[in-house]
Amino acid sequence: MTQVTVKELAQVVDTPVERLLQQMREAGLPHTSAEQVVTDNEKHALLAHLKSSHGAKVDEPRKITLQRKTTTKLKVAGSKTISVEVRKKKTFVKRTPDEIEAEKQRELEAQRAAEEAARLKSEEEARQQAEEEARRKAQAELEARAGSPVVAPAPVQEAPVEAVAPVEERKKEEPRRAEKSRSDDDERRERKQAQQRPAAKAKAPLSRAVRSGDDDADSFRRGGRGKSKLKKRNAHGFQSPSGPIVREVAIGETITVADLAQQMSVKAAEVIKFMFKLGTPVTINQVLDQETAQLIAEELGHKVKLVSDNALEEQLAEMLKYEGEAITRAPVVTVMGHVDHGKTSLLDYIRRAKVATGEAGGITQHIGAYHVETERGMVTFLDTPGHAAFTAMRARGAKATDIVILVVAADDGVMPQTQEAVQHAKAAGVPIVVAVNKIDKPEANPDNIKNGLAALDVIPEDWGGDTPFVPVSAKMGTGVDELLEAVLLQAELLELTATPSAPGRGVVVESRLDKGRGPVATVLVQEGTLRQGDMALVGSTYGRIRAMLDENGKSIKEAGPSIPVEILGLDGTPEAGDELSVLSDEKKAREVALFRQGKFREVKLARAHAGKLENIFESMGQEEKKTLNIVLKTDVRGTLEALQGSLSGLGNDEVQVRVIGGGVGGITESDANLALASNAVLFGFNVRADAGARRIVEQEGLDLRYYNVIYDIIEDVKKALTGMLGSDVRENILGVAEVRDVFRSPKFGAVAGCMVLEGMVHRNRPIRVLREDVVIFEGELESLRRFKDDVAEVRAGMECGIGVKSYNDVKVGDKIEVFEKVEVARSL
Ligand code: GDP
């Protein structure tokens, strides 16, 4: 144990004795004079005290310098000795964490700079090589042309002497990006680094972009400011002599992860990984919005071309523009009316009497449209009686009909489908010519028809209105000429014209797949002239027209405006209402057809939104007065009239309500089509939609609502008008059973033997009894049995016995609907 005095210790630690004594006192040591002895333990105590009392305050020695002195003796010639003293000094610096971090950063930066420089160098080499190549080629070409060697012009840009050149060159190449993304400081630093480390080894930067998530995520968040720097680093993943492969990525309003990856020629997993690093997990089929997709593509070093989704269609519309002399064309007519009022008879009569069928065999087939010549001119009939066809076509955006012939049987009167026909024609803005049919019948009462139709605002000409009423007999042919004349008169008022010299355009009336001939489409030519051999784009199908047949099945070479033809040669069956255009360019036709095929799904999805009561106004422009169209079906006339009145009165200066279709009875396919064509919502008051209507509602995403309280309808519409449609109670139909038989039981009264058609019938849920889709009773079940057992529920496809509480008038064919009420939040 070594012992020293305070004085000695003071000397060792290089502190004045007084100060040391003071510190020792503070440490609780007894020393008071310089001569006192300090033991080892006391030294430790002092040290501990100093440490704790000063802590961070005293600058801890951050630097320790070790000095070492070695002396060696050299013997030289003779006995002479020389002392050699070697002094070594080594300094250790204790660094703060910040400094350590900074050091790491420096290292990282150095590494990056090295990579950058190497990449720039390789790019430069590639560029030079390419230039050299081009020069050689040019020279060769020149030589070939001149027949002797020519001195190639020097390249405009000399190969760089120092590594700084490539940076500037890149800047020239992409001035926009460079300006946007690089501060001057960045630029300078990078240049310096490039100068300092011209030949470091580059790593694969593409994968690094994915790996170095934080860094890249940061630049991503900055909204692309760091893009070019990243781009530079990520431009290519290996030392390729051909330079970076920068692809042009076309991004529409949306793009799936898979499509985006494919366009960039990377695996979808790369994109997913990249997005994951940015904190957004995506799936391969996920649809990215344009902005996100653009950022990804640019981050990964590709060029982005933003395309409007409709660019192709716009291009097409541009291509189809044609100027030429317009001449009058024949009107196209659709025949509508209530069932059994004589539509088919009328069409058949006209066809028989008027269509030139001189050829052997006469009418060989039925093509869904035909034209007739009269003294006054030509009329074309769309031979698809019924509103469904008419409105289905209109729903697809095609207007094929110029005039509607409304057939009303004079011995009957205005019937539900007559009413519907009027609604459809009015909704389409197509003038009506009324054929008062069956006037040969003794009980015919044409005035009754006039009264009935006037009530629907179809006012006869002789009453001061604008609708011609022509008495006819489809059976005898009486009045048919007058009818056609009336049609042609209306047509004159419409001033229908077309340009026969233009390339053909038209609309599909119907199509089918013929076993021998492939897809066959009946097309009504609307503009220009359609010729055999034309390249036709029809909806999402296309093909060269191999053959063209007229309505008699006769082969023809060309067809002008308002002429219906059958065409062969398409690659698929288009849909009724699809448009036909003739294109000179097969490639374009294929491109658009494919584009439309892809688009179809999205349109359907988008449409599912458009027809909803909640957002029906969103799809409308700002200028027009906003209109809520409603198709309303009720159980009784009184309710219909009451509702029509109150709903129409709900509008104000900015919004209006129009009941464009209404009637008594279940919701039919025709109602659904009308709603679809007019962007209307469907309301059923105590009535239900039939299977056909439900199919359209589901397919097209229409808004169909059932009500049983007038107040509820009015409230919902009011809320829709103010955009306040919040959560509402909607009914869910859980199951439907059809009554197949009715038994009388002394215990339960009438018991209905039922087959469950849809869903599940529950014992304890409210029910309604429907007859022909009209609600006739609402209540609850008395009993639900399978064979002799009481059960809680019966599922579709099973039979059961249902007793309805306090209701005994169940009939075979009735439907029993089980429902529940659920609160549905407003969905957008
Ligand atoms: P659609 O259901 O509207 O196509 O009606 P149809 O053309 O099938 O005609 C229904 C029934 O009415 C048929 O039995 C026809 O023979 C008959 N019918 C059609 N037009 C006339 C007519 O002008 N006079 C008479 N007496 N019967 C007619």
* pLDDT tens-digit series, residues 472-485: 999 999 999 999 99
Window from 73-82, 210-219, 231-240, 305-314 with minimum mean pLDDT: 210-219
Is the CB–ligand 1 distance for residue 572 below 6 Å? no
Ligand 1, atom 10, lies closest to the CA of: 340
Whether 330-495 shares its CATH topology with 622-724 is answered yes
Ligand 1 pocket member 337 (CB < 6 A): yes
CA of 331 to the centre of ligand 1 (A): 25
Q: Report the C-alpha gap between 650 and 722 in whole angstroms.
A: 11
Closest ligand 1 atom to residue 473 Cα is 23
Q: d(Cα 791, Cα 780) in Å, to the nearest integer?
A: 15
Residue whose Cα lies nearest atom 2 of ligand 1: it is 340
Distance 485 CA to ligand 1 centre (A): 22
Would you state the pLDDT for residue 262?
87
Band the pLDDT of 486: cuts 50, 70, 90: very high
Residue with tokens 């040290």: 47
| The two structure tokens encoding residue 118 | 């190497």
786: Cβ contacts below 8 Å, ≥ 6 apart: 794, 798, 799, 800, 801
Q: What residues form DSSP beta bridges with 305?
A: 250
Measure 481 CA to ligand 1 centroid, in angstroms: 18
Protein residue whose Cα sits closest to atom 25 of ligand 1? 438
Q: CB burial class (10 A; 0-12, 13-18, 19+) of residue 60?
A: exposed
Query: Which residue in 473, 406, 480, 474 sits closest to 440, CA to CA?
Result: 473
pLDDT of residue 93: 58
Distance 787 CA to ligand 1 centre (A): 48
> Ligand 1: which atom is nearest the Cα of residue 338?
3
Q: Which tops the pLDDT comparison, 389 or 633?
A: 633
Q: Is ligand 1 within 6 A of the CB of residue 23? A: no
Instruction: Please report the beta strands in 23-161, taking only residues with DSSP state E, as ranges in sequence order.
Output: 37-38, 63-76, 80-93
Beta strand 37-38 with 4-5 is antiparallel
Q: Give, for ligand 1, the residue of 338, 339, 340 to mutate: max count of ligand atoms closer than 8 Å to Cβ.
A: 340
470 CA to centre of ligand 1 in angstroms:
16
**Four-residue CA torsion sign, 35, 40, 41, 42:** positive
Confidence band for 325, pLDDT divided at 50, 70 and 90: confident
Q: Output the CA 362–ligand 1 centroid distance in Å.
A: 23
Q: Is the CB of 424 under 6 A from ligand 1?
A: no
Q: Which amino acid is at 356?
A: A
Q: Are 481 and 466 in contact (CB under 8 A)?
A: no
Nearest one of 470, 474, 473, 438 to 453, comparing CA atoms: 470
pLDDT above 50 (res 164): no
418 Cα: distance to centroid of ligand 1 (angstroms) = 15
Please give the distance, rounded to the nearest whole angstrom, from the Cα atom of residue 130 to the centre of ligand 1.
82
Q: Would you say 571 and 542 are in contact if contact means Cβ atoms under 8 Å apart? A: yes
> Over 70: is that where the pLDDT of 602 sits?
no
Q: Give the distance from CA 309 to its chain's centroid.
A: 10
549, with CB counted inside 10 A (0-12, 13-18, 19+), is buried
Q: How far apart are CA 796 and CA 802, in angstroms?
A: 14
Task: Please state whether the predicted TM-score (pTM) of the whole model is above 0.85.
Answer: no
Is 440 close to ligand 1, i.e. is its CB under 6 Å away? Answer: yes
Please check the confidence at residue 182 and state whether its pLDDT lies above 50: no
Whole-number pLDDT of residue 177: 43
Q: Is 441's C-beta closer than 6 angstroms to any atom of ligand 1?
A: yes
Report pLDDT for 176: 44
Domain 727-825 has CATH 2.40.30.10: yes
- Candidate from 260-264, 285-289, 339-343, 454-458 with smallest mean pLDDT: 285-289
Q: Work out which ligand 1 atom sits closest to the CA atom of 345.
A: 7
Class of domain 622-724: alpha beta
Strand order in the sheet with 564-568: 541-544, 535-538, 579-583, 505-514, 518-527, 564-568, 547-549
CA 163, distance to chain mean position in Å, is: 48
Could you identify the atom of ligand 1 that is nearest to the CA of residue 341?
3
**Angle at the Cα of 220 from the Cα atoms of 214 and 221, rounded to 5 degrees:** 90
So what's the pLDDT on residue 783? 87
Cα–ligand 1 centroid distance for 473 (angstroms): 9
Q: Does 339 sit in the ligand 1 pocket, CB within 6 Å?
A: yes
Mean pLDDT for 184-196 is 49
Question: What was the pLDDT predicted at 537?
Answer: 92
CA distance 153 to 140: 12
| Cα–Cα distance for residue pair 223/217, rounded to 1 Å | 10
Ligand 1 site-directed mutation target among 335, 343, 345, 415, most atoms within 8 Å of CB: 345
Residue 262 CA to ligand 1 center (angstroms) comes to 61
Beta carbon of 478 within 6 Å of any ligand 1 atom: no
Q: Are strands 332-337 and 403-409 parallel, antiparallel or unpaired?
A: parallel
Q: Contact 473/438 with Cβ under 8 angstroms?
A: yes
SS3 letters across 314-344: HHHHHHHCCCCCCEECCCEEEEEECCCCCHH
Known binding site: residues? Answer: 337-344, 383-387, 437-440
Give all strands (DSSP E) within 261-394, no chain letters.
287-289, 303-306, 327-328, 332-337, 369-373, 378-382
- Average pLDDT of 389-410? 81
Residue nearest to atom 17 of ligand 1 (CA): 342
| pLDDT band with cut points at 50, 70 and 90 for residue 94 | low
CB of residue 387 inside a 6 A radius of ligand 1: no
User: For position 578, what pLDDT does the model report?
Assistant: 86
Helix (H, G, I), strand (E, B) or coil at 479: coil
CB 752, CB 809: distance < 8 Å: no
Distance, in Å, from the CA atom of 293 to the CA atom of 220, rounded to the nearest integer, reads 12
Q: Which of 28-37, 65-74, 753-762 has the highest mean pLDDT?
A: 753-762
CATH of domain 330-495: 3.40.50.300
Query: Where are the extended beta strands (E) located within 605-680?
Result: 626-634, 655-664
Q: What are phi and psi of 388, to 5 degrees?
A: -55, -50
363 Cβ partners below 8 Å, 6+ apart? 351, 355, 357, 551, 552
Lowest model confidence (mean pLDDT) among 38-52, 770-784, 792-806: 38-52
Distance between CA atoms of residues 175 and 188, nearest Å: 16
Residue 242 has pLDDT above 70, yes or no: no
In this structure, are residues 620 and 680 in contact, taking their beta carbons and an 8 Å threshold? Answer: no
For residues 642 and 710, the answer to whether their CB atoms sit within 8 Å is: yes
Q: Which residue in the block uniquely carries the two structure tokens 């904190």?
A: 279
Residue 67 has pLDDT above 80, yes or no: no
Q: Which residues are annotated as a binding site for GTP?
A: 337-344, 383-387, 437-440
For residue 342, report the distance from its CA to the centre of ligand 1, in Å. 4
Strand partners, 84: 72
> Mean pLDDT throughout 112-140?
72
Let me know how long the chain is: 828
Give kind and range of the element (H or E) at residue 564.
strand 564-568
Q: Residue 257 carries which side chain, given as an amino acid letter? A: V
- In one-letter notation, the amino acid at residue 304 is V
302 lines ligand 1 (CB under 6 A): no
What pLDDT is attached to residue 453? Answer: 94
Distance 340 CA to ligand 1 centre (A): 6
Beta carbon of 345 within 6 Å of any ligand 1 atom: yes
Residue 343 C-alpha to ligand 1 middle, in angstroms?
7
CA atoms within 13 A on the CB side of 609: 11
What CATH number labels 248-306?
1.10.10
pLDDT band at 145 (very low <50, low <70, confident <90, very high): low
Q: Is 384 in the pocket of ligand 1 (CB under 6 A)?
A: no
Mean pLDDT over the full length of the chain: 76
Helix ranges restricted to H, 55-148: 97-146
Dihedral, 411, 416, 419, 425 alpha carbons, nearest 10: -110
The answer to which of 40-49, 93-102, 623-632, 811-820 has the lowest mean pLDDT is 93-102
Cα of 399 vs centre of ligand 1, distance in Å, is 28
CA 504 to CA 789: how far, in whole Å? 69
Residue 411 Cβ < 6 Å to ligand 1: no
Residue owning the nearest CA to atom 6 of ligand 1: 342
| Mean of pLDDT values over 260-284 | 82
Residue 223 pLDDT grade (very low, low, confident, very high; cuts 50, 70, 90): very low
At residue 309, the pLDDT reads 61
Q: Residue 515: left (phi > 0), alpha (psi -120 to 50), or beta?
A: alpha
- Helices then strands, counting H and E runs in the chain, come out as 24, 37
Residue 321 carries which side chain, given as an amino acid letter?
A: K
For residue 568, pLDDT beyond 70: yes
- Give the residue, by CA position, lying nearest to ligand 1 atom 11: 340
Share of the chain above pLDDT 90, in %: 19
Going by pLDDT thresholds of 50, 70 and 90, the confidence category of residue 423 is: confident
Please tell me the predicted confidence (pLDDT) of residue 68. 60
pLDDT at 358 over 90: no
581: DSSP letter: E
Give the DSSP H or E segment for 745: strand 728-745
Q: Which residue has the higher pLDDT, 133 or 201?
A: 133
Predicted confidence band of residue 87 (pLDDT cuts 50, 70, 90): low
Q: Are strands 564-568 and 518-527 parallel, antiparallel or unpaired?
A: antiparallel
475 lines ligand 1 (CB under 6 A): yes
Q: Which of 350, 591, 620, 571 has the alpha carbon at shortest distance from 474?
A: 350
Please tell me if the CB atom of residue 450 comes closer than 6 angstroms to any atom of ligand 1: no
Q: How far apart are CA 155 and CA 169, in angstroms?
A: 14
Q: Rounded distance, CA 718 to CA 651, Å?
A: 9
Q: What is the end-to-end Cα distance of the chain in Å, rounded? A: 88
Q: What is the arithmetic mean of pLDDT over 313-323? A: 77
pLDDT, average across residues 615-643: 72
**766-771 and 799-804 strand pairing:** unpaired
Question: What are 352's two structure tokens?
Answer: 């028989």
CB 25 within 8 A of CB 52: no
Structural domain boundaries in the chain: 4-58, 248-306, 330-495, 622-724, 727-825
Residue 236 pLDDT greater than 90, yes or no = no
| pLDDT for res 141 | 62
CA distance 667 to 663: 9
Rounded to whole angstroms, the Cα distance separating 809 from 803 reads 11
CA 509 – ligand 1 centroid, Å: 24
**Residue closest by Cα to atom 22 of ligand 1:** 438
Q: Is 236 in the pocket of ligand 1 (CB under 6 A)?
A: no
CA-to-CA distance for 613 and 715, rounded, in angstroms?
A: 12
Least confident interval from 68-77, 445-454, 570-579, 666-675:
68-77
Secondary structure of 226-266 in the HEC alphabet? CHHHHHHHHCCCCCCCCCCCCCEEEECCEEEHHHHHHHHCC
- Position in ligand 1 atom list of the atom nearest CA 478: 23
The amino acid at residue 176 is: R
